[in-house]
Structure 1
Amino acid sequence: MDRRLGNVHRFDRPPELISQSTGPTAESVAEPRPWRRALTWLLFLGPFFFASYGFATWASSQRTEVGFILFAWEQHIPLLPWSIVPYWLIDLLYGVSLLLCTTRRQLDTHAWRLLLTQLIAVACFLLFPLRCTFERGEVSGAFGWMFAALMSFDQPYNQAPSLHIALLVVLLEPYLRAVPRACQALVVAVALLIGVSVLTTWQHHFFDVPTGLWLGCFVLWVFPTDARSPLRRATRHRERARWRLALAYATTALAVGGLAVYAGGGWLWLLWLSGALALVAVIYLLLDADAFEKRDDGSLPLAIRCLLGPYLLCAWLNSRWWTRQLALADPVTAGVLLGRLPTAAEGQRLGIAAIIDVCAELPGPTPALRHVVIPMLDLLPPSLEQVERASAAIAEELAAGPVLVCCALGLARSALVTAAWLLRAGIHATPEEAVAQVRKARPAVVLGRAQIDLLRRWQQQYLQAKP
């Protein structure tokens, strides 16, 4: 057994933070179902859940005053006693989910997700305690004993983010993976019922729901299913441009978050934008373009779309605003078009065979076209290796038909790699000539001395070095 792979699944560190593999190995396919490991995880996570949750409840109860966040319309939410059944159901789903994992990698990834969710939620309960103000009173009838059992260990604290909602997001994946496709709609329906139950049992206020959803998606981002964690690629970058952009995003996140907290009410939705901008700041400061987790078909995972929703909307509107008076794409030479990221319908109208997509932050799925993704961060110079990969992809895909080279605007990243392809193809001998042709084709492109110097370094390393 490979010693390195043997260390991937130790309990002492999350597997996604140390694994070198991005997919199942032959060993993982052949390994027996990890029943004992699942039970071991359950024996740890179960007591830890109740101990940490109970401690946070006790700590909040010791405070002289605990605030709350309540919207006026929440007074109209009915108490539905029967909804205590789906509310309790998540406890059963929690334990069974560990037994559904078929490999050690699946199991450890899922277990670390559950643990991280608990740790972050409890930290929020301790740092920002909130309480539920609904007075439910005694519930009689068939469901009364379930409410009584709940209140025997629970109190109206531990509100935001809703641990119920966050865990629900994490639990969805193993159940969707375990059931046939025909039953997945039923799984989603049950999940929605559980999600609604946190309100109709009067256990939570509405504010707790979107914050719980954000937490669950964040944990899925930290521990992706079939890839290394983005945190594993964290490094201290030295480029001043990165620091300036990270500082700009972080400052805006703080300002927006401060406004949301100060204004309250509906302005609290700005916390979503604040969280998204803070995460983008982290990506620019410590991570790389792969942290957006853009898939090979140009789409973004649902978790990323939920985490960065407001940022993605702003980025999309920005791309449409700056290109409103520009053509979708302009021909640079026969078979090579340069433009902004198209929709699926726009891609078909262009009459192209493939898309070379160097935009990291925006989704652009085009099911009818071949999609090659080489993600690059906006407003930063790409690495020479990224330029090499992108220019080589243009050359390869051009053999099968016309290609579109695109980024958010079609003015910088895509223009740079198109100029690199002109050099690779031998159409021009110098970066200045290649850039001049790109400018002639799409005059609004932003290619200056810094980009020409980068092209020259790439040319010396990858083209002139070839025998």
Structure 2
Amino acid sequence: MNRKWKTYLPMLWILMIPALNIFYGILNQAHTPVYSLMTDLDAAIPFMPIFIIPYLIWYPFIIIMLFLFCARDRSVYYRTLLSQCIGLIACYITFFLFQTTVDRPLIMEAGILDWLVNLVYSTDNPYNCFPSIHVLTSYLMIKGAVTSAGFSNRERTAVKICAWFIIGSTLFVKQHVLLDVAGAIAVVEVLWYWVGRGFHGQRSAPTAEFVREENLS
């Protein structure tokens, strides 16, 4: 039991994420100037409250994925977590230097979905948009799952579907615009390559504990 506890001790590094998120609240407000990156294409995207469900699934999705990386593939876990932390810092610096906003629709509550959208709107100011943290972290989970040897092809497909639904939800609930999505994906591509160079020569492989459990099942 003591040995297994030590095996999962690296999961405590996940606590770096809520620690960094303190800066999100500090920066999530208007300061001069505030920019809008909305395009005609964004205006043509319909508001669809049903997408608030995948938008909110983002919270457990990221934590579950990080736990799975830690349990199954320690190298990918550290690479993903480090990329995420550096990505968050890059986002916060961008929010400070180049604050953007998104126009939100006025929602008349007619059901639980509208209520959930208004709940998100009331707890998250319409700032800190470019690049999207929702997109950055979700796309990062795709990179990790595809890279890791600890995931089956079926599991990788499930991760991709879930992540892309979350990414799309940011547009359909009018929390972000297309450039927010593109910017976040670009940041992940750069960080995944750059951080990966530090892991060069470390072959991605399932952790010994995961392999042992798979063999017993």
Q: Shorter-chain-normalised TM-score: which range?
A: 0.7 to 0.9
Structure (1/2) with the larger helix percentage: 2
1:419-430 matched pairs, under 5 angstroms:
none
Identical pairs, percent: 20
Letter in 1 for 2:159: V
1:191 aligns with 2:163: yes
CA contact (8 A) 1:166 1:216 kept: yes
Which residue does 1:395 correspond to in 2? none
Which residue does 1:110 correspond to in 2? 80
Q: CA deviation at 1:96?
A: 1.5
Which residue does 1:464 correspond to in 2? none
Which residue does 1:35 correspond to in 2? 8
The structure whose RCO (Cα within 8 Å, separation 6+) is larger is 2
Q: CA deviation at 1:73?
A: 2.9
Letter in 1 for 2:134: H
Encode CA deviations 1:89-129: one digit per residue, 9 max, x unaligned: 12112212221123543332222111001000111111111
TM-score normalised by L of structure 1: 0.38
Which residue does 2:187 correspond to in 1? 215
User: Structure 1 pair 108/68, CA: closer, same or farther in 2 (3 Å)?
Assistant: same
Secondary structure at the counterpart of residue 123 of structure 2: coil
Encode CA deviations 1:335-364: one digit per residue, 9 max, x unaligned: xxxxxxxxxxxxxxxxxxxxxxxxxxxxxx
User: Structure 1 pair 164/206, CA: closer, same or farther in 2 (3 Å)?
Assistant: same
Q: Which of 43, 53, 59 matches 1:75?
A: 43
CA contact (8 A) 1:130 1:157 kept: yes
CA contact (8 A) 1:165 1:216 kept: no
1:85 aligns with 2:53: yes
Q: CA deviation at 1:201?
A: 0.5
Q: Which of 146, 169, 176 matches 1:204?
A: 176
TM-score normalised by L of structure 2: 0.79
Q: CA deviation at 1:142?
A: 2.1
CA contact (8 A) 1:164 1:198 kept: yes
CA distance in 2, matches of 1:41, 1:152: 30
Secondary structure at the counterpart of residue 223 of structure 1: helix
CA contact (8 A) 2:79 2:199 kept: no
**Number of positions where the alignment pairs a residue of Structure 1 with one of Structure 2:** 194
Structure (1/2) with the larger strand percentage: 1
Which residue does 2:23 correspond to in 1? 52
Gaps of 5+ in 2: 202-217
CA contact (8 A) 1:109 1:225 kept: no
CA distance in 2, matches of 1:225, 1:65: 37
Letter in 1 for 2:8: W
1:56-205 matched pairs, under 5 angstroms:
56-58=27-29, 61=30, 63-100=31-68, 101=70, 102-176=72-146, 177=148, 178-205=150-177
CA distance in 1, matches of 2:96, 2:37: 16
Q: CA deviation at 1:183?
A: 3.6
CA distance in 1, matches of 2:39, 2:185: 18
Q: CA deviation at 1:208?
A: 0.9
1:208-357 matched pairs, under 5 angstroms:
208-224=180-196, 227-228=199-200
User: Structure 1 pair 72/173, CA: closer, same or farther in 2 (3 Å)?
Assistant: closer
Q: CA deviation at 1:165?
A: 1.4
Larger Rg, first or second structure (1 or 2): 1
CA contact (8 A) 1:90 1:168 kept: yes
User: Structure 1 pair 199/33, CA: closer, same or farther in 2 (3 Å)?
Assistant: farther
Q: Give the aligned CA root-mean-square deviation in angstroms.
A: 2.5
Letter in 2 for 1:121: C
Letter in 2 for 1:203: Q
Letter in 1 for 2:20: F
CA contact (8 A) 1:160 1:207 kept: yes
User: Structure 1 pair 144/225, CA: closer, same or farther in 2 (3 Å)?
Assistant: farther
